[in-house]
Amino acid sequence: MMMLNTEFERYYHQIRMRQKRDTLIWSLLLVGLYLTAGHIAEFSLTTIWQSLPNFFDYMFETLPTLHLSVLLADVHTKGSLAYWGYRLPIQLPLIWETLQLALASTLISTCIAAVLAFLAAGNTWTPPAVRFGVRASVAFLRTMPELAWAVMFVMAFGIGAIPGFLALALHTVGSLTKLFYEAIESASDKPVRGLMACGATPLQRVRFALWPQVKPIFLSYSFMRFEINFRSSTILGLVGAGGIGQELMTNIKLDRYDQVSITLLLIIVVVSVLDVLSGRLRRWVLEGKK
C-alpha cells in the first residue's frame, strides 16, 4: 500500500511539473507574439499614457454646464436640463430607428441563417457541393465587417437606413449560419438513428430529431445577436447608415460637446435596458422563468 502511494505521488508530481512547464512555455510564447504584434503595429504604451490626458480633457468638455438655480427652467435658459436636451425630439426618433434596424435585420437574418445552417451542416444529408457552396458564401459574408458593408451600401443607396439594414443583415446571416450549423453538427445522433430505423425521411429526421435539440441554441444565439446588432447599428450611423450614430457623428464634427454627451447617455441607457430585457426574455423563452 505504501508503495502504491509513493508511485502515485511520483506520477502526480511528474504530471504537475509537466503542466507547469507547458503553462510557462505557452505563456512566454503568447507574450512574445503579443510584443511582436505590438511592434509591427507600432503600438506604444508610452504614446497612450502621454495622450490619455487629451482623452479625459475631451470627455470633460462634453459634460453639460448645468446650474442648480435654473435646472428646471425652459429650453431657452442656458444651464437648464431642457437646454441640454433641446435636440431630444430629433434624437429619440433616431434611437427608435436604430432599434428597428437591429430588430429587423436580426429577425430576417435568423430565418435565413436557420435554413442555410441545415444545408451547411455535415449531418443533414445535404449534397457536398451544396454544403461547400453555402459554407463558402457565409464565410465571405462574415469576413466582411459591417462597417465595410455599410460604406459600400451608402455609396450605392445613399445615406439612410437601407445601407445599415443591409450591412447588418448580411453580416448577421454569415455569423449566425456558422453558429447554427456547428450547433446542428454537435447534436446527438441517437434520435436520428431511431427515426432512420423507423423509415423516416431526411426532412422528418431534421424536423423531429435535430430541430428540438438545436431550437434553444438558435434562440439564444438570436437574442445575443440582437444585442450585438444594436451596438453595431450605432457604429454604422457614423458612416451615414442611419440611426443615432449619424447624430453622434454630426455633433462631434460640429463641436457640439453638450450634445455629444447626451447622445452617448441615450445610447448607454438604451443598451443597458436592452441587455436587461433581452436577458429576461431569453430566460422566459428558453427556461420558462420570469
pLDDT at 82 over 60: yes
Contact, 141 vs 171, CB < 8 A?
yes
In terms of domains, do 29 and 93 share one?
Answer: no
Q: What angle do CA 138, 207, 280 make, to 5 degrees?
A: 70
Query: For 1-23, what is the mean pLDDT?
Result: 75
Query: For 248-271, what is the mean pLDDT?
Result: 86
Q: Could you give the C-alpha distances from 31 to 34, 42, 43, 77, 140, in angstroms and in order?
A: 5, 16, 14, 56, 31
Instruction: Tell me whether residue 105 is in a domain.
Output: yes
Instruction: Tell me whether residue 69 is in a domain.
Output: no
In terms of domains, do 43 and 101 share one?
Answer: no
Query: For 143-152, what is the mean pLDDT?
Result: 88
Task: pLDDT band for 286, please (50, 70, 90 cuts).
Answer: low
Instruction: Tell me whether residue 62 is in a domain.
Output: no
Q: What is the DSSP letter of 208?
A: I
In terms of domains, do 32 and 176 share one?
Answer: no
Q: What percent of the chain has pLDDT over 90?
A: 19
- Please give the single-letter amino acid code of residue 264: L
Domain of 252: which CATH number? 1.10.3720.10
Task: pLDDT band for 27, please (50, 70, 90 cuts).
Answer: very high
Instruction: Tell me whether residue 205 is in a domain.
Output: yes
pLDDT at 4 over 60: no
pLDDT digits (tens, 9 = 90+) for 176-201: 999 999 999 888 888 888 888 888 88
In terms of domains, do 226 and 139 share one?
Answer: yes
Query: Mean of the per-residue pLDDT values for the chain?
Result: 85
Instruction: Tell me whether residue 226 is in a domain.
Output: yes
- Top-ranked range on mean pLDDT: pick from 130-139, 142-151, 246-255: 130-139
pLDDT at 116 over 90: yes
- Top-ranked range on mean pLDDT: pick from 10-14, 208-212, 282-286: 208-212
Task: pLDDT band for 290, please (50, 70, 90 cuts).
Answer: very low
pLDDT of res. 133: 94
Instruction: Tell me whether residue 240 is in a domain.
Output: yes
Could you list the residue range(s) of the whole structural domain that residue 29 is in? 2-54
Q: What is the DSSP letter of 209?
A: I
pLDDT at 230 over 80: yes
In terms of domains, do 96 and 158 share one?
Answer: yes
pLDDT of res. 29: 93
In terms of domains, do 133 and 277 share one?
Answer: yes
In terms of domains, do 34 and 152 share one?
Answer: no
In terms of domains, do 178 and 132 share one?
Answer: yes
Of 44-48, 252-256, 265-269, the least confident: 44-48
pLDDT at 3 over 70: no
How far is residue 52's CA from residue 42's CA, in Å, rounded to a whole number? Answer: 17
Closest CA to 265 of 54, 69, 59: 59
In terms of domains, do 35 and 92 share one?
Answer: no
Task: pLDDT band for 129, please (50, 70, 90 cuts).
Answer: very high
Instruction: Tell me whether residue 68 is in a domain.
Output: no
In terms of domains, do 130 and 256 share one?
Answer: yes
In terms of domains, do 164 and 253 share one?
Answer: yes
Contact, 289 vs 270, CB < 8 A?
no
- Top-ranked range on mean pLDDT: pick from 10-19, 51-60, 75-84, 240-249: 51-60
Number of domains into which the chain is organized: 2
pLDDT at 254 over 50: yes
C-alpha cell at 287: 427556461
Q: What percent of the chain has pLDDT over 70?
A: 96
Of the CA atoms within 13 Å of residue 108, those in its CB half-sphere come to 13
pLDDT of res. 8: 66
Under 8 Å CB-to-CB from 206, ≥6 apart: which residues?
Answer: 118, 124
Instruction: Tell me whether residue 238 is in a domain.
Output: yes
pLDDT at 1 over 60: no
Contact, 117 vs 262, CB < 8 A?
no
What's the pTM value of the predicted model, to 2 decimals?
0.78
In terms of domains, do 120 and 15 share one?
Answer: no
